[in-house]
Amino acid sequence: MMEVVIEDSLDTSSFHELGLDKAIWTLSTAKPGNGIEQLRDNNLETYWQSDGVQPHFINIQFLRKMSVSKVCLYLDYNLDESYTPKKISIKCGMSTHDLEDVTAIELQEPIGWVSISLSSSESDNFVDCLRTHVIQVTYS
């Protein structure tokens, strides 16, 4: 399961999960019955299962330029074991052809929500958001 948190103002109370009506979601690969619908259905019992060699990726192409503060992923090493990502990198750009590295994290047997900040600074009342048309989340 994956959630992208966006904000339309500098007030952090306006954070909300990005729905399918705001973006086009694509996957590098998926096994039948474990694709976008399962990735986005808000059910922790269902999931995206990639198919093929790594790295695997999720592309999120916004219908308009968006302010994005973080990407949140639900991961469970106990359920996925060897399929659980060890490294997640985030790239952003105006199209899939000009993506630039934003951040990367290494994981060790994660269980639960992993929040990946896309901003350069964070304080009580201000979050520096990234303005972008495309986010690519890469797993390896």
Residue-wise pLDDT for 27-71, tens only, equals: 999 989 988 888 888 888 888 888 888 889 999 999 999 888 888
Looking at residue 22, what is its pLDDT? 80
The structure tokens 């474990």 sit at 34
27 neighbors 60 (Cβ within 8 angstroms): no
Domain boundaries, the chain: 2-139
Nearest to 100 by CA among 127, 138, 62, 53: 138
pTM of the model: 0.83
Instruction: Look at 51 and 2; give whichever has higher pLDDT.
Output: 51
Does the domain at residues 2-139 carry the CATH identifier 3.60.70.12?
A: no
Q: What residue ranges in the chain does DSSP mark as E strands?
A: 2-6, 16-17, 23-27, 56-76, 87-93, 100-106, 111-117, 130-139
105 neighbors 85 (Cβ within 8 angstroms): no
